[in-house]
Amino acid sequence: MTDVHFYEIDTGNNPPVSLPPHRAAPNIRTEIERQVEEMLKYKIIEPSNSIWHSPVCLTRKKDNSWRFCVDYRRVNAFTTPMHATLGNMHDVFDTMGEMQPQIFSSIDLSSSFWQVPLHPNSKQKAAFVTHSGIYEWNRMPYGLRNSSIAFSQVMSQILRGLHWKYVLAYIDDILIFSKTFEEHLQHLEEVFARLRKANFTLKPQKCHFAVKKVNYLGHIISKDGVKVDDSKITIVKNYPRPKNQHEVRQFLGLCNYYRRFVKDYAKITVPLNNLLQKDKEYVWTDKCQISFENLKQALTTAPVLSYPDMSKPFILTCDASGSAIGYILGQLDENGKERVISYSGRALRNNELNWTITEKECLAVLEGITKNKVYLSHARFKVYTDHQALVWLHKSKDTNSRLGRWALELQNYDFEIIYKEGKKKYKCGCFVKNSI
């Protein structure tokens, strides 16, 4: 157990949460008590007389064993939230792009949250109740409102100076990457020394060392770039047709995590997003079915996305349709072939649907540049469009119209707009004009 950090629960002046144990079948009660005895043995928990206590429930793991969970919903409702950013896959892309790594290792910590001690003032608030009594945690349990953020702060403290250099840590998922094997051994040695000093232990059977590709946060990462994890593709491929708004929202939540891999994502999902409109009757139409099938097909054939290389010029390809805008960020490789870094875009808002096609196409350019400014603000880049009227954008002297204001907003960027006629000549074209 580490001594780097103690996790504390802040519930303000709210009254204690005191709930009875959930009703459970005899076999479930037996399993709960078995796990309680095991945790008592290793001093993870201890008997308590707390007036705070939440009920226990069990959930199935992938290997069909039982996961011990505490229902902290009432406690979490009273807990003051911690504010911190956990990072995302965009950060992973950027970090990989800086190094262009060739070799990877992933580290899995053993019962990661349990390696962080719970603050003495918070032990009673996190207490739980079973049919055999009340117990409190000595370690930080899973399920508390701020536990993920607290653990991330612990990892940031332990890996300070290495994080985002050759180590990435998202909560308890640790990724190490290097250019050479010799360099990788040095990186591993430094990370191990930090974890050892903090008294963290690993789960060896779930660690992968010095491999050419690795699964990280649902993505397969290699020297060539990033692609969607095959297991996630299988889930999407076999996903049943949603029967209500809740199921549509769940499906789109899964797909949205991988939207940067899907060309035309915003356009494809318009019919499904329309189903989520408030106070609208749920009617699954032919357009919804086509949207559902097209999105599944797009994700199951998603490409490998390249890492951004800040030493090379970027290419931004923009387009608009009647209902959406889209933009593709790319770069040329050593053979002059264009490689996609990310697909992006969004559906047009109600007021934007009535804009002229020139305004929609210009909006695609504006958002494509501003959304990718971290890549495009440092050097000259090219913007490709199949709308010839946009070529004059730099030369516009009109400052009163919408287009004129956008032109002023873009003057801080150094780019060339290039017109390419038709989709056949448009290598990295965006949204298909045909309606779904």
- Interval 346-393: pLDDT, tens: 999 999 999 999 999 999 999 999 999 989 988 899 999 998 888 877
- Tell me the DSSP string of 103-140: EEEEEEBTTGGGGSBBPGGGTTTT-EEETTEEEEESBP
With a CB cutoff of 8 Å and minimum separation 6, the contacts of 120 are none
Q: 0.85 exceeded by the pTM?
A: no
Burial class (CB in 10 A: 0-12, 13-18, 19+), 174: buried
Helix (H, G, I), strand (E, B) or coil at 280: coil
Q: Give kind and range of the element (H or E) at residue 331.
A: strand 324-332
Q: In the structure encoding, which two tokens stand for residue 40, read together?
A: 């008592």
CA distances from 128 to 25, 65, 72, 135, 363 (A): 18, 21, 9, 6, 54
The backbone region for 140, taken as left when phi is positive above 0, alpha when psi lies in -120 to 50, beta otherwise, is beta
In the chain (436 residues long), the average pLDDT of successive 10-residue segments reads 73 94 94 96 96 93 88 94 74 81 94 90 95 95 90 91 90 93 97 95 93 93 93 91 95 92 93 92 96 94 91 94 93 91 93 93 94 90 91 68 85 90 42 31
Helix then strand then coil, % of the chain, to nearest 5? 35, 25, 40
Count the alpha carbons within 13 Å of 259 in the hemisphere toward its beta carbon. 17
Walk me through the domains of the chain, giving residue ranges and CATH numbers.
Answer: 89-115+145-224 (3.30.70.270), 228-300 (3.30.70.270), 315-419 (3.30.420.10)
Residue appearing with tokens 């996903």? 239
Confidence at residue 404, expressed as pLDDT on a 0 to 100 scale: 83
Confidence at residue 87, expressed as pLDDT on a 0 to 100 scale: 67
- Interval 210-242: pLDDT, tens: 999 999 988 999 999 999 999 989 999 999 999
Burial class (CB in 10 A: 0-12, 13-18, 19+), 64: exposed
Q: In the structure encoding, which two tokens stand for residue 27, read together?
A: 């076999």
The torsion of the CA quartet 180, 206, 234, 242, rounded to 10 degrees, works out to: -120
Amino acid at 182: E
Q: In the structure encoding, which two tokens stand for residue 70, read together?
A: 């505490």
Counts of helices then strands in the chain (DSSP H, E):
13, 17
Confidence at residue 79, expressed as pLDDT on a 0 to 100 scale: 94
- Give the residue among 292, 285, 298 at the shortest CA–CA distance from 326: 298
Which spans in 269-314 are helix H?
Answer: 270-274, 286-300
* Whether 11 contacts 78, CB under 8 Å: yes
Confidence at residue 4, expressed as pLDDT on a 0 to 100 scale: 58
- Give the residue among 202, 282, 293 at the shortest CA–CA distance from 249: 282
Amino acid at 34: R
- Give the residue among 375, 384, 89, 428 at the shortest CA–CA distance from 263: 428
- Give the residue among 301, 302, 303, 352 at the shortest CA–CA distance from 325: 352
Confidence at residue 425, expressed as pLDDT on a 0 to 100 scale: 34
Confidence at residue 407, expressed as pLDDT on a 0 to 100 scale: 85
